[in-house]
Structure 1
Amino acid sequence: MMMKVPPYFEMLQWTGHCKDPRPTSTDARAATGDAVVDLSKRHLSSEIFAILKEAELFSRLDVSHNPAVDNATLLQLLQEHRLEWVNIDGCSVSNKDMVGLLKSHPSLSRGIEAIIHPAFLSVNSLGVSKGTPVAFSLLYKGLFRTRRYALPFFGVDQIVQNLLDAAAALKSFEYVGNTPMPCDMQSLFAASHRSGRPWATRDIQTIPLQTESRDLAKGYTLVVLPQLYDKLIPSPRGGFQFEYGISPPGGKRKFIDVATFLEYLERDGWPEPKDEKAVEQVIKAYNEGGSLLVDFDSTVKELADLMTFAAMVEALDKRQSPQSHDDLGSFSFRIPRFFLVFPPRLIPALIFLLNVSPPLLFLLFLVTCIASLSGCSQAKHWDLI
């Protein structure tokens, strides 16, 4: 049933219930019954507040391409209305204004699944300063690499689905001994889609910021340590367990499970999740597929050490190009990056080759050594910047 529109607001475009079969880029995350107030492409300023007072219940607002909407207008909108989705693209709100608002009023963004603004749709737009807003982040360990991705805001139902998608990826045999590729995990936490809807209907509400910051005091941080080959623990529902913990904000130096995480959100004033079934599924997924981390200090130290080593490995790829023999009097040997980041999932293949065809394995080793020798470079030092 469509919403009734006051006659003096006939100029406005309203949409009622979101249709499920063919979701668009603006309704793929919306639950059935969510209403959208569309004030896009209108030159409105203070009139917006009068219009919204007459509106029925809504959780999604589109004021895009409205130059009269500035930072002060947006702040008042968020203070007066609890929104799940807001489109302010093309308004008079700069990237700096947007980031500053989230930093100075973090409580206003609690529960917002998407803020459509250029500041959140570009890898470098948020910057890398220590003041970058962080509501939720993922910190996970690979074999020789640790990555951290940060979200400036998140909705409760959105993060529940993100955690479900991550659990499915982490316990699969393909990723045992190594976490998914960075782009895979970044995609999981950048996407928003309702439980039961296909992955193809997802929306991208923001591009998670990749950061090397080890400060876990800002926002909630999901820490993930995958099981290695020598410590495999089968999961009751198939696949293998992974170790995880969620660090609460404020520097409490402890890990909590998913159920406690959702309790913390409710206690801190976040809206309750709408999809109770998805909540049950995510708690069950982490209880069965994950093992809660206990020792906070040792875990953080291990991750910090790996982040340092990962920086060194990446620096090897950026080393200075070979110079002439006349300029340099020494001869250095380049270590192939292959040996530093060898994926453990290839170990079974090497064991198979060893049993079936030792000469073939020896040939593979010989080719690798030749490649290493051919990569010798005349350089004074590695560029470890």
Structure 2
Amino acid sequence: MTDTTQGPRFLQDPYPAYAAMRSISPVRPVPGSGGRPSYLVTGYAEAREALGDDRLSKNTAAFFAGKGSQRRLHPAVAHTMLASDPPHHTRLRKLVTKAFTTGAVAPLRPFIARVTDELLDQWPADGPFDFVAGLAVPLPVIVICELLGVPQADRPDVQRWSAQLFAAGEPDVIDAASHSMADYMTGLLADKRRDPGSSLLDRLIAARDGDDRLSEEELVSLAVLLLVAGHETTTNALGNALLALLQHPAALDRLRTNPGDLPAALDELLRFDSAVSTATFRFTTEAVELGGTDIPAGVPVLVALGAANRDPERFPEPDRLDLDRNAAAHLAFGHGIHRCVGAPLAKAEAEIALRALLTRFPGIRLAAPADQLEWRHIRLVRGLASLPVLA
């Protein structure tokens, strides 16, 4: 991106920089990797349009073909459903969508509540507690591993590899983690063929063995994607939401006394500080006009979801947390055919976790100044490295 999107100040609060860029143009060219230009989208209307435009491809294999990349990402990680276009994307998404509808997630809610309570039971009686390490990270990991059928003994390794896949500035670490994760999933799928169960992975295997016939690479790729995407963004959304509430005492008091408002409030919390700051890779397959800017063919388009969710043209007074705002049209989960398939699960986890937290620890407060909190050094997602709190 630009120099304004570098450094600790931007990590702490990227929204002034986004607003400054949007005020000049909602779509603008920025320096890209390898000397290639990219275009950054910071306006809401333009972001929504870009996310739904089929002239913006997500086929990364086609874009990078012949460009001499030295990366050694495992193909199952490099070529996921997120990095594909219809009809291939349509076919793969259809196989997993039913597992993540609101109705399909409902039976998981008692399990999510039980895991949340077990994690909160480990909070110390006094002294600070890291909300990220103690709840925001383990809860979604445990839930998605349970859904996919990952044995408990393997979950620490899976969590570590997943975190390494987001190791900004460490391509060798990312590449190695991609092979570890893909190799593990290959073995897990083989185990499940020998001893079938009822997990989501078992159902995907059955689809492969039935009429649909997913390839082995497609199965491994879907398994990796569901595992990583199934907890990474939820972890960040939980931390961002709690921090926002701790910085807005009136909103915190309201949800503490009226926990039934939480489901509706979640949309505003997701809009206010999006867990995904920039949508996954897209590039133009032909020249495109977007927001009054002409974008040539064959260049990356970076859709800044966090910036779009703070666009005053769509959300008046966007820097104000307003739990009465109708924020259902936020772009925190994306838009169009690539909208996050796991959104219902993520919202269920956030609702249950925050409700339990505010019920059991009504006096929760920050244990460190907000401007001293450490944020993860990752451009794609926005999340706290830690969030020390006092109960």
TM-score category by the smaller chain? under 0.3
Please report the TM-score for the alignment, with normalisation by the length of structure 1: 0.24
Larger strand share, 1 or 2: 1
Larger helix share, 1 or 2: 2
Higher relative contact order structure (alpha carbons within 8 Å, sequence separation ≥ 6): 2
Structure with bigger gyration radius = 1
